[in-house]
Amino acid sequence: MTPHDDDARTLDATGAATVRDEPGEWPVGARLLGTYEITGAPRTGGMGVVHPARHLEWDTAVAVKSPRRHLLGSPADRDNFMQEARTWVDLGLHPHICACLYVRTVDGFPRVFAEYVHGGSLADRMGGDDAPLYRGAEDEVLARILDIAVQTAWGLAHAHAQGVVHRDVKPGNILVGDDGQVRVTDFGLAQAAHGHRGTPRYRSPEQAARRATGPATDVWSLAVTVLEMCTGGGPGSTGRRLRRRWPTTVPTAAAGRESGPCRRGSPACWSGAWRTGRRTVRPAWTRSRPNWSPCTGK
């Protein structure tokens, strides 16, 4: 897991020297650096492109992350991106952090080689009319939400203990495996791209004001994420989507009453959510994970 890059030459998927202006999409079966084979179609996000691949010797799935060209507009931007990626590498192994193996230069661009998590992101599980996050009985869903929140917090706590702040905690950067294990991903990459300001929807007050950030920044963004899971829409949401499913559980504007939408920013809405969590989420999560350990992730 030692970070390294090819500073002597630039290689394409076949190993030939080349220069490109934009990270390209490799076809399935293409080989990188003689070590990795592309195994599926890429996924595109705000930061760039992610290719699923397989380490030929280890027979292990990896994700190859390629940043967009505009994020690397100058040598200083490129050096900053490489440094932030190495910060992620230095976090080492933890059950609730997606492991970053190393960063290397391929086709003239820095590529981050990270652990591949089968199952997708929390954002994937929250989207659509039949979102996987909300399947099942009420107490099962509430337990699932708290389970994801707690595992995410453990991953962030490990990073904070090493002096690393994520600064872009959001559903798209929280991976949920098919086995239910949660891993936080993309440490440092948002910092290189957005100057530590994060994604606007989940941005903390100090990020919005361009002030110094710290662990509390990630706590704020995680709280917004948890609120979004609970309401189906984040700050200012009426919770209408979830209230259609569980009309007596999703908090409303008037604490203790079950009619009318939750007003934007209503204190009663927040207190109702707190009471709901204490009454249903916490006991349900305790029943579902009686022997949970943050060290083993089991």
Tell me the three state secondary structure of residue 35. coil
In 3D space, the residue among 24, 8, 14 whose CA is nearest the CA of residue 111 turns out to be 24
Token pair recorded at residue 283: 């006991």
Tell me the three state secondary structure of residue 39. coil
Which is it for strands 109-115 and 60-67: parallel, antiparallel or unpaired? antiparallel
Name 127's Cβ contacts closer than 8 Å, sequence gap at least 6: none
Scan for tokens 């010797």, then name that residue. 57
DSSP 222-273: HHHHHHHHHHSS-TT---HHHHTT-TTTS--SSTT---SPPPTT-HHHHHHH
Point out the residues that are catalytic.
168
Give first-to-last CA distance, the chain, whole Å.
Answer: 24
Tell me the three state secondary structure of residue 56. coil
